[in-house]
Amino acid sequence: MSHPSRLSSPLASSLAALLLAGCASLSGSAPAPVTSAAPEPSQDDEPTVTLTLLHVNDVYQFTPVDFGERGGLGRLSTLRKQVLAESPNTLFLMAGDTLGPSVESTFHKGKQMIDAWNALGLDYAVLGNHEFDFGPDVMRQRMKESHFTWLGANVMDKKTGRTFGDTPPFVIRDVGGVKVGIFGVLLGKTKYSSKPGPDVYFTDTCAKARELVPQMRKQGAQIIIGLTHLFVAEDKVLARCAPIDLIIGGHEHVMMQAVSNGTPIVKMSSEARELGRVTLHVGTRSHKLKSMDFDVMPITPEVPEDPAFAAAMREYDALTAELSQPVGRTAVTLDASEEANRTRETNLASFVADAYRKATGAEVAIINGGSIRSDSVLRPGPLLRRDVLAIHPYPGSVVSIEVTGAVLRQALEQGVSRSAEEADPGRFPQVSGIHYAFDVCRPAGDRIVRVTVNGEPLEPKRTYTLATNSYMAEGGDGYTMFKGAKYLVSPQKGKTTQDVLRDAFASAEAIAPVTDGRIERLRGGARDLAKMDDPNAPTCPAAAAQAAQ
């Protein structure tokens, strides 16, 4: 069957226009609905059948987020039922990442999310990298509990030689008389970023699409949908590998629209802050895709919660109430985003490092930016027990050790040793009592250009007391220079990281941490504000000179 002309669709046309205007990626905490034009009249007046695809991605909790202002799967359930009443030819898709990480999943290992999707009537989900956070055996159990179908054509099991959990390589579903084929693929870095185990491996997504799409066409699929959990750059490559009508993706946590090789690519932001809706108009005789419409449905308090969903999730009410208990208040926005805390000074990381230092009475503190796990922005208002556990989900200890100034410098070098090579290295050193500057253009091991301790130059031979977490003190994230140091506060006697953070949140009527310049990130001697993956970021002088030769 010939592939339909996708560029003529309203969605593809609008997305192409966005690309030309430099607006292929749209983000915001409360995006306005994006709606394409009405279906184009067919030149041959062929009648069409309307299909609806609802989609979300990267949903880690079933309760609302942003102080209740966005998200909530009970509200989503209401919207889904409204759409079903309007368009019975509807499929509900989830583009990966739901079992972890979340506060609830530290207790239930993702079972609460499976219960939520079962209650919602999810049809298909692609495996995301966080589906493996609790290991392959837990994931297999969650798949058995699922009333919907998981997809992951490129996720393989060495022991069986088949797809992980025997997920189907693709599905073909008759929707309103149209055969819709859906395949799912997951990014390969999951092998290292999560815990899939030694027997799980990931094959090339492009090769998999080239293999599957012809098979799907041969088995009668009239519309091909790629349900993916990839970076958008990988989605664009996938679209060039095989004739795919639409890619519905996840992973970035940012609402995105793009076009590659005439294939529209759409993603929602995280935590079901909005529900994506794609409407397909398919010819009843030719079975060709005539046009597409795209809409975004914000999930806000104006949408009532579905009572049936609330009843299905009743067993989690006690945990939800406990996590909603206030432990403090912030007068300012707290930056708990992963990218920021792993690349530069943030007000939250400085606050946490200060809290560790105060809790132990140490002279200085160093924590790894990756220990701040929430990957969110906390707006001014109440701080809840949920926030404490989201920031520090793993209950390590806050410890104090003795180290020399030389070891402190070595630790800082280790912390910035991947700052030019990785977008968000977890080892990045957030500090208290220390001011330091580093230059990403210098070679690893020689990037620290300035260090002061409590306003005085670092003395290599002097002994300092250092507060950190037990993970780093035991050599985690490559901080092996701390192993064997003398403990002043041992892991057994130190408070948990969660207790220290909770006490710090409760230490004032409202906290208001700020950044104070304790970390300076330089690029060739000048202040560096660009993200590593920013194509407009200035190059290092040596690299620019080499490129000019």
Residue whose structure tokens are 């012809």: 214
Task: Please compute the mean of the pLDDT values over residues 72-98 and round it to a whole number.
Answer: 97
Cα distances (angstroms) measured from residue 446 to each of 415, 439, 466: 12, 9, 22
Whether 124 and 96 have beta carbons less than 8 Å apart is answered as no
Q: What are phi and psi of 74, to 5 degrees?
A: -65, -40
How is 504-516 classified by DSSP, letter by letter?
HHTTSSSB-----
Task: Please compute the mean of the pLDDT values over residues 299-321 and round it to a whole number.
Answer: 96
How is 175-241 classified by DSSP, letter by letter?
ETTEEEEEEEEE-TTHHHHS---TTEEE--HHHHHHHHHHHHHHTT-SEEEEEEES-HHHHHHHHHH
Output 528-533 pairs: Cβ under 8 A, ≥24 positions apart.
Answer: 528/440, 531/339, 531/343, 531/423, 532/343, 532/419, 532/420, 532/422, 532/423, 533/423
pLDDT of residue 6: 30
How is 409-468 classified by DSSP, letter by letter?
HHHHHHHTTTTTT-SS-TT-EEEESEEEEEETTSPTTS-EEEEEETTEE--TTSEEEEEE
pLDDT of residue 322: 93
Region of residue 172 (left: phi > 0; alpha: psi -120 to 50; beta: else):
beta
Q: pLDDT by residue (tens digit) across 314-356?
A: 999 999 999 999 999 999 999 999 889 999 999 999 999 999 9
List beta partners, residue 326.
Answer: 384
Task: Please compute the mean of the pLDDT values over residues 106-125 and round it to a whole number.
Answer: 96
**pLDDT averaged over the chain?**
89
* Residue 231, number of CB atoms within 10 A of its CB: 15
Report which DSSP code applies to 370. G
List beta partners, residue 511.
Answer: 330
Question: From CA 36, how far away is CA 20, in angstroms rounded?
Answer: 17
Question: From CA 386, how far away is CA 327, in angstroms rounded?
Answer: 9
Helix, strand, coil percentages (3-state) for the chain, rounded to 5, are 30, 25, 40
Whether 320 and 55 have beta carbons less than 8 Å apart is answered as no
| Residue that wins the pLDDT comparison between 309 and 103 | 309
| Residue that wins the pLDDT comparison between 193 and 114 | 114
Length of the chain: 549
Which two three-digit tokens encode residue 154?
Answer: 């490129």
Q: pLDDT by residue (tens digit) across 16-71?
A: 344 333 333 333 333 334 444 444 544 567 899 999 999 999 999 999 988 789 99
Q: pLDDT by residue (tens digit) across 180-203?
A: 999 999 999 898 878 999 999 999
Whether 337 and 382 have beta carbons less than 8 Å apart is answered as no
pLDDT of residue 44: 62
In 29-100, which ranges are continuous DSSP H helix?
73-86
Question: What angle, rounded to 10 degrees, do the helices at 347-360 and 497-505 form?
Answer: 110
Question: 519-523 and 434-439 as β-strands: parallel, antiparallel, unpaired?
Answer: parallel
Question: From CA 458, how far away is CA 451, in angstroms rounded?
Answer: 6
- Is the pLDDT at 445 greater than 80? The verdict is yes
pLDDT of residue 5: 28
Helix (H) or strand (E) holding 53: strand 48-56
pLDDT of residue 374: 83
Whether 293 and 39 have beta carbons less than 8 Å apart is answered as yes
Cα torsion at 453, 458, 462, 468 (round to 10°)? Answer: 50
Residue whose structure tokens are 């799912």: 184
pLDDT of residue 193: 79
